[in-house]
Chains A and B, each alone.
Chain A
Amino acid sequence: MKLSQTLGKSLWAFLFNSGSCNGCEIETVATVTPRYDLERFGIKVVGSPRHADILLISGPVTRKMAPRLRRVYEQMPDPKIVLCIGACGTSGGAFYDSYTLVGPVDQVVPVDMYVPGCPPRPEAIIDGVVKILARLEAAEKSA
């Protein structure tokens, strides 16, 4: 898979847990383990949003985490890709009515790709990442 000119040869991802049950977090971390191996696409998981190109958000956004999520999003340099992992972030999932949740992720930051599932399998997460990269590449080519 050829990645775009702007984004270079490999992308760095940052994981953000906005108050989830951790199922999506664990499945996302499982993608870097040898069975699923996200790193064969050149994608590395890093510890700081300032170094990251891809933001993987899991969880419905709790009130305490919403300002942090905004800040992380702003700290990431452009161009960036935002993926929302799991049903909670997409539409609330099991927590569809709550007094302490600010809403699905796209109420806080703009989202490029939703990966549905509760939790989505690691293959689904990799599929989501690869699809958005391919779309980016196509967009760059046509621009």
Chain B
Amino acid sequence: MKLLTPQEIADTLQAAAGAGFISARCTEWAEGAKGRKSRQVWLHITREALLPTLRRLADIHYPHVSVIAHADTGAQVDLMYHFYIYWGIPREEILVTLTISLDKSDLRTPTITGIIPGALTSEREKQEMLGIEVVDIPDGRRLFLPEDFPEGVYPWRKDETGIPPDMVKELWATGRDSLQLDDTPPAPTPEPPTA
């Protein structure tokens, strides 16, 4: 298998995204004494271009989906789909990130589990934490939040749907004498005898 350079990958995916392409950049970072580099490709595309671009990427090499990261930028929510290709070939792995920006008025994104089933955990988490609807997700239940967590509160959002201040507990401020549960039995060990 011929290995493409990051720039070639960026160009191929730009062609696959077509009209949905917004921008691309390639970065690299070296660590260690020999200065060996790790390489990254970052693409910014529209939601409609996500699946075609991902299919083209899967043709290059079946990607390992790492996680879908997020950022709340005010009017939009960015989703960063992190994929790794060329795993299994020493030192050749390339991070390919597909970033899509969703307007808060229309928080929907297609599921990628049709191409990579392993993305299910990440998509379920985005649904419950950001209030995004992943269209056609095979299993849309809550994953990490408790069942009694209020609907409409999305912990990672920074606007009015985020965590309200009254839900935040300052654990260090509880003080020792504040236990006031009526049904609590008294502590079993009495105070030590003053002798």
Flag if B179 contacts A139 (CB, 8 Å): no
Residue-by-residue, is A59-91 near B (CB-CB < 8 Å gives 1, otherwise 0)?
A: 010111000000000000011111000000001
Are A136 and B146 in contact, CB atoms less than 8 angstroms apart? no
Interface contact A95-B171, CB-CB below 8 Å: yes
Whether A81 and B189, one on each chain, are in contact in the complex, defined by CB atoms closer than 8 angstroms, is yes
With a CB–CB cut-off of 8 A, which chain B residues contact A79? 188
Contact A101 B169, beta carbon cutoff 8 Å: yes
Contact A98 B189 (CB under 8 A): no
Are B193's CB and A98's CB within 8 A? Answer: no
Which of B168, B171, B179, B190 has most A Cβ within 10 Å? Answer: B171
User: Is there an interface contact between B171 and A101, defined as CB atoms closer than 8 Å?
Assistant: yes
A102:B169 contact, CB within 8 angstroms? yes
Q: Are B172 and A92 in contact (CB-based, < 8 A)?
A: yes
Residues 161-195 of chain B, each 1 if its beta carbon lies under 8 Å from chain A, else 0: 00100011111101010110000111111101101
Question: How many Å lie between the Cα of A132 and that of B189 in the bound state?
Answer: 9
Q: From B163, which residue of chain A is reached at the shortest CB distance?
A: A99
Q: How far is the CA of A103 from the CA of B148 in the complex (A)?
A: 17
Interface size on A, residues (CB 8 A): 34
* Contact A110 B179, CB 8 Å, known A78-B188, A132-B189: yes
Assess A92 versus B189: contact at CB under 8 Å? Given A63-B148, A99-B155: no
A37 on interface, CB distance cutoff 8 Å? no
Expressed in whole angstroms, the Cα–Cα distance for A78 and B189 within the complex equals 11
The contact of B192 among A64, A92, A95, A138, by CB within 8 Å, is A138
Q: Find chain A residues with CB under 8 A from B146 CB.
A: 62-64, 100
Complex contacts, B168 vs chain A, CB 8 Å = 97-99
User: Within the complex, what minimum Cβ distance (angstroms) separates B159 from chain A?
Assistant: 15
